[in-house]
A and B are shown apart, each in its own frame.
Chain A
Amino acid sequence: MIRSFLSRAVKLVSLAKPSIESLIDSESKIGGQIFGHASRGVTRRFFLDDGDSWFYSEKAVDTTNGRVLYSFTIRYEILPQGVLKSVDGRGHVFITGIELAHLKQAIKVYKRRIKEELYSPKETKPFQLVNQ
Chain B
Amino acid sequence: MASKFQQHQGFGVDAIQWRSQPDQQSSERTYNRTEVLDLANQDVTESYEFVASPVNEAEEIISAEMAELMADDAEIRQMRQEMLEGAA
Question: Residues of A with Cβ closer than 8 Å to B?
Answer: 16-20, 23-24, 27, 48, 52, 78-83, 100, 104, 107-108, 110-111, 114-115, 118-119
Contact = CB atoms under 8 A, between A and B. Distances in A.
Contact of A115 (B63, B65, B68, B79): B79
Given A104-B69, A111-B72, A111-B75, A119 B83 contact: yes
Contacts, number: 53
A16 B87 contact: yes
Band of interface residues on B? 10 to 19
Contacts of A81: 62, 66
B75 to A, nearest CB: 6
Interface of B: 62-63, 65-66, 68-70, 72-73, 75-77, 79-80, 82-84, 87-88
Give chain A's interface secondary structure class: helix
Contacts of A23: 80, 83-84
A78 B73 contact: yes
Given A17-B87, A78-B73, A119 B62 contact: no
A29 B58 CA distance: 34
Given A17-B88, A18-B84, A104 B65 contact: yes
A114 B76 contact: yes
